[in-house]
Chains A and B, each alone.
Chain A
Amino acid sequence: MNEKINIDEKFKKNNFQVPENYFEQFSSKISERIVALESSEKNKKSKFSYRSQLKLAASILIFISLSFAGYKFFFNENPQVLNNIQISELIENDYVNIDDEYLLYELLSEENVDLQLNSIEDQDVISYLEDESIDESILLNE
């Protein structure tokens, strides 16, 4: 009958081998890796620092540009004033949409606006209508 095998000290013997001088050389191997690691970390840091400076400069430039544009927009000391001819040109070229009814309403609501309606003679009206080639029948229907 076979004897029962117990786990005792005899199995503690190390049966694995390592290459010759492995432990003697390991320290220098790990030192080399750490030196390489440290230098790559330094490179990363210097790259990061360069990028950070670049980002900071760009941010400052954008901030100054936006501030300047904002200042010009809100506090313009010399706003461009359009004369009547320029306004007329803008309206005629359809750059600006003007609601005629609204415009007329606004004009009539102004107390001091003198449209000189009373001073228009009937003959002037007829002449205007003739010039504009407006069909009389339309006018009658209106």
Chain B
Amino acid sequence: MKEISDHTILNQFRNSETREFAFNLLVSKYQQKLYWHIRRLVISHEDADDVLQETFIKIWNALENFREASQLYTWLYRIATNESITHLNKKRKRFFIPLFDSENPLIEKLESDTSFDGDELQKAFQKAILTLPEKQRIIFNMKYYDDLKYEEISEILGTSVGALKASYHIAVKKIEKIIQPD
């Protein structure tokens, strides 16, 4: 089946009669991509579900004002990323977790996550990603898993392409160092 274009979805959304139908199309088209992006940042399914719902509520409220100056999916990614960061910050504050130790709870979550079915090396790889600083982790995930271009990541995060390349390169080196066998 041919995928409906973002432009068609947006036009239908602007028409009050097809607004809800268009939004359902948008949810169907992007829910999985956004879910996995969020899930890799917050780790647990329950948190990812909450953040994904909040993301789509934000999208519903703001989509009318989206003027297509940027691509729709980069705009959606930006909202999902911001919502994930907000969620992580709230958790940090709620549990008084110091910033330098911020990812430890996520590693603990990963350790106790029964829905993770990877082997020890896969788990070590995920844990290594979780040791990265938050922004570097987001950049790594977007480049490595979502296969986004640097220009697209730059549009989402508002960081220069040069800085993104450097950050990704450093992230790869760090992860490789961590997962090397003794």
Contacts and interface: CB of A to CB of B under 8 A. Distances in A.
Given A18-B45, A30-B56, A33-B57, A12 B176 contact: no
A15 B172 CA distance: 19
A16 B49 CA distance: 14
Interface in B80-129: 113, 115-118, 121-123, 125-126
Given A2-B181, A5-B180, A30-B56, A18 B115 contact: yes
Given A5-B176, A15-B126, A18-B35, A27 B28 contact: yes
A29 B53 contact: yes
A30 B144 CA distance: 29
A19 B35 CA distance: 13
A29 B28 CA distance: 12
Given A27-B27, A27-B31, A30-B27, A7 B36 contact: no
A19 B28 CA distance: 17
Interface string A2-25: 101111000111111111001100
Interface in B19-36: 20, 23-24, 27-28, 31-32, 35-36
A33 B115 CA distance: 26
A4 B1 CA distance: 43
B115 A13 contact: no
Interface in B158-180: 172, 175-176, 179-180
B53 A7 contact: no
Which secondary structure dominates chain B's binding surface?
Answer: helix
A60 interface: no
Contact of A34 (B23, B35, B116): B23
A27 B176 CA distance: 38
Nearest to B28: A27
B75 interface: no
Interface-centre pick from A15, A19, A23, A31 (highest chain B CB count, 10 A): A15
A21 to B, nearest CB: 13
Contact of A16 (B31, B53, B115): B115
Contacts of B49: 22
B39 interface: yes
When A and B form their complex, which 3 residue pairs have the shortest distance between CB atoms, in order from nearest? A15-B118, A17-B115, A2-B181
Interface of B: 20, 23-24, 27-28, 31-32, 35-36, 39-40, 45, 49, 52-53, 56-57, 60, 113, 115-118, 121-123, 125-126, 144-145, 172, 175-176, 179-181
22 contacts: A2-B181, A5-B121, A5-B179, A7-B125, A7-B144, A11-B125, A12-B144, A12-B145, A14-B36, A15-B117, A15-B126, A16-B113, A18-B35, A18-B115, A23-B31, A27-B31, A29-B53, A31-B20, A33-B53, A34-B23, A34-B60, A37-B57
